[in-house]
Amino acid sequence: MSTISPAALDDAAVRNWPDFLNPSAPPPAIESSSGNILSLSSTPSPSSASTPSDKNKSGDRRVANLLALTELRKAAWARIYSSGISTGDAAISTTRVPTWRQFDTLMIKRHRHIAVDPRDNRTLGWIACFHPYPLLPLLYDDTQDSNFDDNQGARGGRLAEIQVMVAEAERNRGVGTFLVKAILASFKADTRYSTVQASFFPENQACQKLFEKCGFETVATRKDAVQMMDGPRKGTWRDLVTVEIKLPPLTLPASPQQQQQQQHENGSIVTPTAIDMTIDPNAIFKRPRLD
């Protein structure tokens, strides 16, 4: 049995101990065509070692944070809008960006949001909605429609059309899905609306996949619905695909009277909603009464 000298142990203290106990042959060397000796090493240098991508680091990180789309973000909104319509498949114009005042007047203020990056708070995309058709009850001064509140869980019947755009550098990372699901959750809490729809060109396959993923269904394809105002296809009439989703009925909690009535109809015993289980600490030390 071979012994290890103290000098060798001192040398092992500054080396990798497993490699010292199980020494391996040095990596082979080959001679290049130029006569230089090239060593093959399985351990990359610190400069060439691969580091985990940001996608792996943020695999469990939230896609984005949701904020209200206000005038404070109008610069980022205009930049994303301009980048989106430049493709020619997002709007009837490829260059004309509406002013913030026009956008603010048309879009419903309660249901418009932006997605920002959780790390640096940069704007990733935005979503907004408007009324595609006139609100006919307003012609008859129907104030009940604007303040609709039904205790039976019904909805007011309004329809809203959404418009969503994602920054070019932030696509294919779930931002669009995050925004659409966020606005659907916002509409589910609004009793005035029962249907949400979206319209896009048939060539916009990314938009179609997004809405199908979020549960929208195709309801119509309008032939020659809109005409391009500018761009390479200026003057061309294009089709529009319309998809929609129906909002579920409201689930309102039952009142205490309704709960008691339901228990009585089912033949169950009506129990108090709460029982006082508080124990007086001093009662533990009291002598029990024998009479």
Write out pLDDT tens, residues 8-62: 545 544 445 445 445 554 544 444 444 443 333 333 333 333 333 344 444 446 8
- The length of the chain, given as a count of residues: 291
Q: Which amino acid is at 3?
A: T
The band of 286, judged by pLDDT with boundaries at 50, 70 and 90, is low
Quick one: which of 201, 281, 277 has its CA closest to 241? 201
Residue 154 has pLDDT above 60, yes or no: yes
- End-to-end CA distance of the chain: give it in Å, rounded: 90
Please identify, in words, the CATH class of the domain defined by 63-246.
Answer: alpha beta
Percent of the residues in the chain that have a pLDDT greater than 70, as a whole number: 62
Lowest mean pLDDT among 111-115, 229-233, 271-275: 271-275
What is the per-residue pLDDT across 82-95, written as a single tens digit (0 to 9) for each? 999 999 999 999 99
Which uninterrupted H or E stretch holds 242?
Answer: strand 237-246
Quick one: which of 145, 149, 71, 69 has its CA closest to 108? 69
Distance of CA 290 to the CA centre of its chain: 69
Q: How far is the C-alpha of 141 from the C-alpha of 247, rounded, in Å?
A: 26
Quick one: which of 203, 144, 208, 214 has its CA closest to 177? 214
